[in-house]
């Protein structure tokens, strides 16, 4: 054996000039294209090896992924909730209508006369009169309290004038002045500006949005920490490997890579799983919501995540995975002692 080996080794040096690309330099390992191919192959190999490791310990992986999927589902849930409530408000957004509830003693003829006088005002676009009967009919149809109303002896609803001002939406002061004017008009009991309601609703929605954003930030942080902790354990389990790789000249980037891919996979799988959980929850909720919506004016349909939102959700989860892994590995590599 020794003799054979000796011959082989002695033959080695003359081989080198024929292979000038293999040199002991910082960029050793062939020309640029070879290097790029090797880099790509290595990354692909590490990508699937990381997935393999996760599949190799299914119980631990599934526990982590389940917790993450729940967190991501909650975050998506808040998002979908806000999105749906927003849709509800969207239907009302353009309304700057003013409702004048007339006093009970006003007759229909008086109401029409009042409507006519309001129409003279240059800032008013149109006035519609809703009689007591019309109002009752509408209430029965949309409120869902039809039979309760039937039980009443007398129609309790007043005559309503629906006043639509001209381009008033952006001029609040003029609108308020108009409202005050109506308030003092003879025969008007109560003035209701739809805009006020829209504003209130929008304020509530803005608050809900902010609340959801805060909660989602916290959930994002939770995802980051859970992934970070998982990677920390993984790093601990593979400590020997890290040390050996370091000793034979691995850069931090090389050592970091498999852990970043592990973080990516955990985030990605959790994101996809969360999508399915959200889909199932939405399927469960859909029928009751549609039923409720049907009891009103059917202008509301439950919105789910569209393609872009789904992609963003999964990308965000994967991104958090990589980020969590990065933070932990970067911190730990600095403190890894070689022994």
Partner 1 sequence: MIKFVNVNKRYPETGDVLRNISFHLRRGEMAFLTGHSGAGKSTMLRLIATMERASRGQVLLDGQDLGQVKENQLPFIRRKMGFIYQDYKLLKDRTVFDNVALPLVIAGFGHHEITRRVRAALDKVSLTGKEKKYPLALSGGEQQRVGIARAVVNKPPIIVADEPTGNLDPCLSSEIMCLFGQFQQVGVTVLIATHDISLISQLNRRVLKLDHGQLVSG
Whether the Cβ atoms of residue 96 and residue 164 lie closer than 8 Å to each other: yes
Whether the Cβ atoms of residue 244 and residue 336 lie closer than 8 Å to each other: no
Judged by beta carbon, residue 9 or residue 109, the one nearer partner 1 is 9
Buried b / exposed e across 151-183, counting CB within 10 Å, b at 16+? eeeeeebbbbbebebeebeeeeeebeebbeebe
Would you count residue 151 as binding partner 1 (CB under 8 A)?
no
Contact stretch for partner 1 (CB under 8 A) within 29-37, 145-153, 203-211, 283-291: 29-37
Binding mask 1-20 for partner 1 (x = CB under 8 A): xx--xx-xxx-xx-------
Which residues have a Cβ under 8 Å from the Cβ of 236 and sit 6 or more positions away? none
As a whole number of angstroms, the distance between CA 225 and CA 229 comes to 6
Out of 254, 296, 298, 331, which residue is the one contacting partner 1 (CB under 8 A)? 254
Determine the Cα angle at 63 with ends 57 and 66, to 5°: 125
Out of 162, 246, 304, 312, which residue is the one contacting partner 1 (CB under 8 A)? 246
Which residues have a Cβ under 8 Å from the Cβ of 314 and sit 6 or more positions away? 268, 271, 272, 275
As a whole number of angstroms, the distance between CA 236 and CA 244 comes to 14
Q: Enumerate residues 299-338 that contact partner 1 by CB under 8 A.
A: 338
Minimum CB distance to partner 1, residue 264 (Å): 20
Which residues have a Cβ under 8 Å from the Cβ of 143 and sit 6 or more positions away? 149
Out of 120, 153, 240, 335, which residue is the one contacting partner 1 (CB under 8 A)? 240
Judged by beta carbon, residue 39 or residue 197, the one nearer partner 1 is 39
Judged by beta carbon, residue 79 or residue 261, the one nearer partner 1 is 261
Minimum CB distance to partner 1, residue 239 (Å): 12
Judged by beta carbon, residue 35 or residue 140, the one nearer partner 1 is 35
Would you count residue 34 as binding partner 1 (CB under 8 A)?
yes
Contact stretch for partner 1 (CB under 8 A) within 79-87, 138-146, 245-253, 311-319: 245-253
SS3 291: helix
Minimum CB distance to partner 1, residue 6 (Å): 6
Q: Enumerate residues 77-136 that contact partner 1 by CB under 8 A.
A: none
Out of 206, 207, 213, 244, which residue is the one contacting partner 1 (CB under 8 A)? 244
H helices present in 193-306, as ranges: 194-237, 239-247, 252-295
Residues that bind partner 1 (CB under 8 A): 1-2, 5-6, 8-10, 12-13, 22, 24, 26-30, 34-35, 37-39, 41-42, 240-241, 243-252, 254, 338-339
């Amino acid at each position: 054996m020794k003799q054979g080996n000796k011959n082989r080794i002695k033959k080695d040096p003359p081989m080198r000039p024929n292979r000038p690309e293999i040199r002991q330099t910082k960029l050793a390992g062939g020309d640029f294209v070879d290097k790029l191919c090797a880099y790509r192959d290595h990354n692909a190999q590490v990508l699937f090896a990381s997935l393999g490791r996760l599949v190799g310990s299914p119980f631990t992986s599934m526990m982590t992924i389940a917790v993450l999927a729940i967190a991501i589902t909650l975050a998506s849930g808040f998002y979908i909730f806000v999105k749906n409530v927003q849709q509800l408000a969207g239907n009302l957004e353009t309304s700057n209508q003013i409702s004048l509830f007339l006093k009970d003693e006003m007759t229909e003829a008086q109401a029409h006369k009042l409507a006519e006088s309001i129409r003279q005002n240059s800032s008013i676009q149109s006035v519609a009169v809703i009689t007591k009967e019309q109002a009752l009919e509408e209430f029965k149809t949309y409120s869902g309290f039809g039979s309760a109303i039937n039980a009443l002896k007398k129609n309790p609803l007043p005559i309503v004038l629906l006043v639509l001002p001209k381009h008033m939406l952006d001029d609040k002061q003029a609108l308020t002045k108009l409202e005050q004017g109506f308030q003092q008009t003879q025969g008007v009991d109560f003035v209701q500006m739809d805009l006020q309601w829209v504003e209130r609703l929008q304020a509530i929605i803005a608050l809900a949005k902010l609340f959801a954003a805060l909660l989602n930030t916290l959930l994002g942080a939770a995802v980051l920490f859970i992934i970070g902790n998982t990677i920390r354990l993984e790093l601990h389990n593979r400590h020997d490997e890290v040390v050996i790789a370091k000793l034979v000249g691995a850069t931090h980037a090389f050592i970091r890579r498999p852990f970043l891919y592990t973080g990516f996979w955990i985030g990605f799988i959790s994101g996809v799983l969360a999508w399915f959980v959200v889909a199932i929850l939405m399927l469960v909720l859909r029928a009751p919501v549609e039923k409720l919506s049907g009891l009103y004016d059917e202008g509301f349909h439950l919105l789910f995540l569209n393609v872009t939102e789904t992609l963003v959700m999964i990308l965000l989860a994967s991104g958090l995975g990589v980020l969590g892994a990065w933070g932990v590995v970067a911190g730990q590599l600095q403190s890894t002692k070689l022994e």
